[in-house]
Amino acid sequence: MRGRLFALTIVATMLLATQGSVANPGGEGNDDRDFTCGGSCHGDPSLSGVSSAVIAIDSSATAFAGTAYQFDTTIEIHEISHSRLLGVFLLGSTNGNGDQPSDHGWTIIQDPAGATDNYVEVSVPNTGIVSLSWVLNAPSTTGDTELFIAVQHGAGYPGDVAYLGVSDAHSIEVNPVPANMPGFAPDWTAPNYRVTGDTSPVSIMTQNVTDIAVEWKLEGESFSHQASVEAGGEDEWLVHLPATMGESRMVYRVTTSNGQFDVVQPWLTMGTAPPEFDGTVWGARAQGFAGAFMIIALFVTLQGILQPARKKDDLDHTAEVEASEPTQAAEESAAPMPEPEPEEETVPSADSERYEKYDEHPDLLWDLVEEKWVDDPNAGGGQ
C-alpha cells in the first residue's frame, strides 16, 4: 500500500511540474524551423499572449531571380523575460507548417549568426532594439513573393506564457535576371567561421563573373580594407583575408563584375572558432591520468607543508618503550634471590699444619690462623 502511494505521489509531482512549464525559457537553439508552435502550444489562447514587439523591415521590394538579396529587420521590444532571450523566425508564410523560406524558393546564404538557419535566438540589449540581417538567393522563378518576421519570447517571471508577434508581409517582386548578370553561384553558401589563426584563402563561387573585388573589416569597425583576390578553378575565386583570433568576427562584401554590370553584394559575416582537438583517445586518457597524479602529488606536498612541526621530544619514544617492555635487569631484580650455600665447617685436626699441639695442654690445639685455642676432638676431655 505504501509503495502505491509513493508511486502515485511521484506521478502527480511530475504531472504538476509539466503543467507549470509550458514555455521553454532556455530556448531551443538556432535551427531551420517551421513556425509550428504558432498552431500548437503557443497558439493556445490560455498559454500564449500577443507580443508587444514592434517589427520593422527595411529591405528592397525587388529582387532578381537567382541572385543575392539582403533582408534587414529591426525589432524593438521592452517587455521580455529576465533571460532577455528572443527567438526570431524568417518565414515565407504564416501557415504554421511548410513556411520556411526554402519552401518558397529562397536559399539562405547566411543568417545573422553566420550560419544558414531561418530561426535564430538573440539576447536583447538594455536598449531593447535588435537589428538582424539574412542574405538569401532569390527564387529562380519570377513573380511576387512575401517574407515575414515572427518573434517569440517570455515576459516576467517565471515566464510560463509564450508571447508571439508576427510582422506584416514584406512583398518582393522577383524580376527576370538581366542577361549576363554577375553574382554568386546558386549552390554556394558563405563559410560561417574559420579556425583561429587560419590564413587559408576563402573560396567564393560565382556565375557570369570575370572579376571580383572584396572589402573587409572587423565587426564594429568603421573603415574597410581591400583583400587580395586570385582566380581558382572555374567560376571560383580565392580571397585572402587576415587571420582572426579569439571571438572576433569579420564582415566582408563582394563586388561582382563582368564588364557590363558591377553588382555590390550584401555584407557577409565570418566568425572565429577554436582549433579542433588533434590527438588520440589513449593520448587524452594518458594526459588525464598525468593530470590526476599531479593533483595527488600537490595534495600530498601541501599536507606535508601545512601539518604542524613536531618537536624532537615528540619523536623520542624511549620512555614509552621502556615502560611497556621490562628490561633484563628489571626481570633479574624481580626474580627471588638464591639462598647462600652453608659454609663447610672445618674440623680441627692435630695432623693439620694449621694446628699445633702442646704437651702442657693435652686437650687443646693452637690455631695458627686465628691464633686462638680450640678443642682437640681427639682428646677425651673436651675442656
Question: Are the beta carbons of 241 and 197 closer than 8 angstroms?
Answer: no
pLDDT of 21 reads 40
- Does the pTM exceed 0.85? no
Domains 23-177 and 178-275 share a fold: yes
pLDDT of 120 reads 93
pLDDT of 41 reads 47
For the segment(s) 23-177, the CATH number from 2.70.160.11, 2.60.40.10, 3.40.50.1970, 3.40.50.720 is 2.60.40.10
Question: Are the beta carbons of 114 and 106 closer than 8 angstroms?
Answer: no
Instruction: Show pLDDT as tens, one digit a residue, over the chain (383 residues).
Output: 565 555 556 655 655 554 444 455 556 788 888 886 544 444 455 567 888 899 999 999 999 998 999 999 999 998 888 888 999 999 999 887 788 999 999 999 999 988 889 999 999 999 999 999 999 999 999 999 999 999 988 876 555 678 889 999 999 999 998 888 899 998 888 888 889 888 999 999 999 999 999 999 998 888 999 999 999 889 999 999 999 888 888 999 999 999 888 999 999 999 888 877 666 778 778 888 888 888 998 888 888 787 776 666 666 667 776 776 665 555 556 656 666 665 555 566 655 678 788 778 788 888 888 888 888 777 765 44
Domain ranges for the chain: 23-177, 178-275, 347-383
pLDDT of 342 reads 59
pLDDT of 363 reads 82
The C-alpha atoms of residue 118 and residue 147 are separated, in whole angstroms, by 11
Question: Are the beta carbons of 119 and 150 closer than 8 angstroms?
Answer: no
All three cell numbers of 271, joined, read 566568425
Range 178-275: architecture per CATH? Sandwich (2.60)
| Cα four-point dihedral sign 178, 179, 183, 185 | positive
The C-alpha atoms of residue 121 and residue 86 are separated, in whole angstroms, by 6
Residue 198: CB atoms within 10 A of its CB come to 15
